[in-house]
């Protein structure tokens, strides 16, 4: 039966369920380039602090030069997560973030990549049809520096038993 | 001298510094309405899961009907924070998020408001020119339900001594 499930081609069967994650799995997130215009457009709408809008803003240690809003990095990460595996899964949303760290600025032209590592898998106590996967997500730039990491539980449907 | 500072009208003097926050302060964040088109535009770019794009997506307990991406709520919150007090402060960025919870979906037409409560103030040990304010931010909808809360340290310049 497991072989049959793995070989099945209907959408419902091939989507990644709770049972398809195991502690230690490292899921790659596809590269995404962040352009200057993207940084400014996001900041103009959501985070209009000077160092997200203008190269000539007064420098601070963290922000010398134009850099992306931390929430823009989160949004780009989310797209990488969707394209990496979430859209082909039974994801039912997330209750939140446990810890998130912005470690390095993201600059115009940076190429971000990432990984989602499974750190815990547990069935929901109150809802037998779902299970919770705790990830450590890490986003790196083109030189391999970590720009952001977070720990985050995500809910997935379990396979029918 | 304190009176003089309070009465000063130059930008540098009136911007909110580290010293202008005290534990227990509750800073209001201005209302912001989230429109259906905003929800879909954000999701199409950053979080194209079905329940953020289309009212007819299959329902889950959390997501029945169109709802905003959790990261969209964060981005809207950031704009409320900027307009509430951050743009008129010496904010130097944030190292991250300690805890974040998405508690309720945000629906088309929801009017969000919020507060930022100061839970801790401490000078930086390594950098005497800055201090760290820990906030508990809370975002509520038009019926007063909490849709998101988070705890988050933010760095501010200290006044020259």
Q: Are B112 and B123 in contact (CB under 8 A)?
A: no
Q: Which residues contact B142 (CB under 8 A, 6 or more apart)?
A: B110, B111
Interfacial A residues in 5-24 facing B (CB < 8 Å): none
Residue in B109, B51, B82, B54 with CA at minimum distance from that of residue A42? B82
Determine the pLDDT at residue B63.
58
Q: Are B96 and A99 in contact (CB under 8 A)?
A: yes
Determine the pLDDT at residue B35.
97
How near does any CA of chain B get to the CA of A75, in Å?
6
Which tens digits make up the pLDDT trace of A25-74? 999 999 999 999 999 999 999 999 999 998 877 666 555 789 999 999 99
Q: Are B119 and B107 in contact (CB under 8 A)?
A: no
**Chain A to chain B, count of Cβ pairs less than 8 Å apart?**
98
Partner-chain contact A97 B95, CB within 8 Å = no
Nearest by CB to residue A82, choosing from B48, B51, B87, is: B48
Determine the pLDDT at residue B56.
77
Nearest by CB to residue A93, choosing from B63, B75, B96, is: B63
A46 to chain B, any CB pair closer than 8 A? The answer is yes
Residue of A nearest to B49 (CA): A87
Q: Are A53 and A43 in contact (CB under 8 A)?
A: yes
Which stretches of B55-126 are assigned E, i.e. beta strand?
96-97, 99-102, 111-123
Burial of B38-76, coded b for 16+ CB within 10 Å and e otherwise, reads: bbbebbebbbbbebbbeeebeebeebeebbbbbbbbbbb
Residue A161: band (very low, low, confident or very high) from pLDDT cuts 50, 70, 90: confident
Determine the pLDDT at residue A10.
46
Edge to edge, what strands does the sheet with A130-140 contain?
A26-33, A111-123, A130-140, A146-157, A99-102, B96-97
- Beta strand B26-33 with A146-157 is unpaired
> Hey, is B76 helix, strand or coil?
helix
Q: Kindly give the parts of chain B with pLDDT less than 50.
A: 1-10
Determine the pLDDT at residue A58.
66
Residue that wins the pLDDT comparison between A80 and A9: A80
Q: How buried is B7 (Cβ within 10 angstroms: 0-12 exposed, 13-18 middle, 19+ buried)?
A: exposed
Nearest by CB to residue B97, choosing from A75, A78, A97, is: A97
Partner-chain contact A74 B69, CB within 8 Å = no
Determine the pLDDT at residue A3.
34
The CA distance from B2 to A41, in Å, is: 40
Determine the pLDDT at residue B61.
52
Phi-psi region of A96 (alpha: psi -120 to 50; beta: other; left: phi over 0): left
Phi, psi angles (nearest 5°) of residue A111: -110, 115
Residue in B121, B116, B107 with CA at minimum distance from that of residue B155? B121
Determine the pLDDT at residue B6.
36
Burial of A47-76, coded b for 16+ CB within 10 Å and e otherwise, reads: bbbebbbeeebeebeebeebbbbbbbbbbb
Partner-chain contact A78 B42, CB within 8 Å = no
- The first and second tokens of residue B97, run together, are 């998020």
């Amino acid at each position: 039966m497991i072989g049959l499930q793995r070989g099945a081609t209907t959408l419902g069967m091939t989507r990644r369920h709770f049972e398809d994650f195991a502690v230690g799995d490292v899921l790659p997130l596809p590269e995404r380039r962040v352009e200057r215009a993207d940084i400014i457009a996001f900041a103009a709408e959501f985070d209009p602090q000077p160092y997200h809008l203008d190269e000539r803003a007064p420098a601070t240690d963290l922000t010398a030069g134009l850099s992306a809003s931390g929430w823009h990095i989160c949004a780009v990460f989310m797209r990488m997560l969707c394209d990496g595996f979430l859209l082909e899964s039974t994801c039912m949303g997330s209750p939140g973030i446990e810890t998130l760290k912005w470690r390095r600025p993201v600059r115009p032209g940076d190429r971000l990549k990432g990984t989602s590592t499974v750190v815990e898998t547990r069935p929901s106590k109150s809802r037998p049809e779902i299970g919770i996967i705790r990830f450590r997500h890490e986003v790196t730039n083109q030189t391999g520096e970590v720009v952001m990491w977070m720990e985050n539980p995500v809910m997935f449907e379990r396979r029918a038993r």
